[in-house]
Chains A and B, each alone.
Chain A
Amino acid sequence: SQELEQSPQSLIVQEGKNLTINCTSSKTLYGLYWYKQKYGEGLIFLMMLQKGGEEKSHEKITAKLDEKKQQSSLHITASQPSHAGIYLCGADGGANSKLTFGKGITLSVRP
């Protein structure tokens, strides 16, 4: 079965700093999803990456997919307190299949 490892486990940054978090898969990535979760709440969709080399941006968040490394990275530029939360990566095994999630990365942003 597919396993997703996210690193680092947690991260504390000063407001305004850039940061990068990673998600590495044990198997070939067909579709990679990034979600954000506030503790005890629902999952908010951030981005979906489907092809090797694909890069997407939304506001100050950029995600890339490296097919060869079976890895995705998510980069936040000029972090703000509103970026704080748990970032989950999920991978699918094909269209309309289940998502397998990593454990998540807890991000704290100090004002």
Chain B
Amino acid sequence: EPEVTQTPSHQVTQMGQEVILRCVPISNHLYFYWYRQILGQKVEFLVSFYNNEISEKSEIFDDQFSVERPDGSNFTLKIRSTKLEDSAMYFCASSETKKQYFGPGTRLTVT
């Protein structure tokens, strides 16, 4: 079965630094999502993306966050100036119709 892939699997960064998390969605999918999960907590929606623009975003997705589809395959999440509370697992998902396929996640640790 096709898979969503994410890189890196683990990223450690210092507070205030910029990070870019990368995702390769399934090739024929048109809808893309980012979610995050702080350790021990719920999986929370961040943003959805369709037709090269954001279709929905949550309150968490503030000006520090941005998403981009720089080419035909990658989908990125950028955090401009990381905070300690950004430490979490970040999941990318993609869908063709309804079913969302999740990637394995990137564990972001902000020190």
The verdict on B25 contacting chain A, using a C-beta distance below 8 Å, is no
The verdict on A42 contacting chain B, using a C-beta distance below 8 Å, is yes
Query: From residue 61 to 107 of chain A, which have CB atoms closer than 8 A to chain B?
Result: 88, 90, 92, 95-104
Q: Do the beta carbons of B48 and A97 come within 8 Å of each other?
A: yes
Partner of B42, one of A40, A42, A45, A101: A101
B interface majority secondary structure: strand
Number of interface residues of A (CB under 8 A): 24
The docked-state distance in angstroms from the alpha carbon of A76 to that of B35 is: 28
Task: Take A42-B105, A98-B48 as given contacts and tell me if A104 and B98 are in contact as well, using a CB distance cutoff of 8 Å.
Answer: no
Which residues of A are found within 8 Å of B105, using beta-carbon distances?
A: 41-42
Q: Do the beta carbons of A45 and B97 come within 8 Å of each other?
A: no
Partner of B98, one of A40, A95, A102: A95
Task: Take A96-B31, A97-B56, A101-B43 as given contacts and tell me if A42 and B91 are in contact as well, using a CB distance cutoff of 8 Å.
Answer: yes
B interface with A by C-beta (< 8 Å): 31, 33, 35, 39, 41-45, 48, 50, 55-56, 58, 89, 91, 93, 95, 97-105, 107
A interface with B by C-beta (< 8 Å): 31, 33, 35, 40-45, 48, 50, 88, 90, 92, 95-104
Ranked nearest first, the 3 interchain pairs of A and B with the lowest CB-CB distance are A42-B104, A98-B45, A43-B102
30 contacts between A and B (CB under 8 A): A31-B98, A33-B99, A33-B100, A40-B39, A41-B104, A42-B102, A43-B43, A43-B91, A44-B102, A45-B99, A45-B100, A48-B99, A50-B98, A90-B43, A95-B98, A96-B31, A96-B97, A96-B98, A97-B48, A98-B33, A98-B56, A99-B45, A99-B93, A100-B45, A101-B42, A101-B43, A102-B42, A103-B41, A103-B42, A104-B42
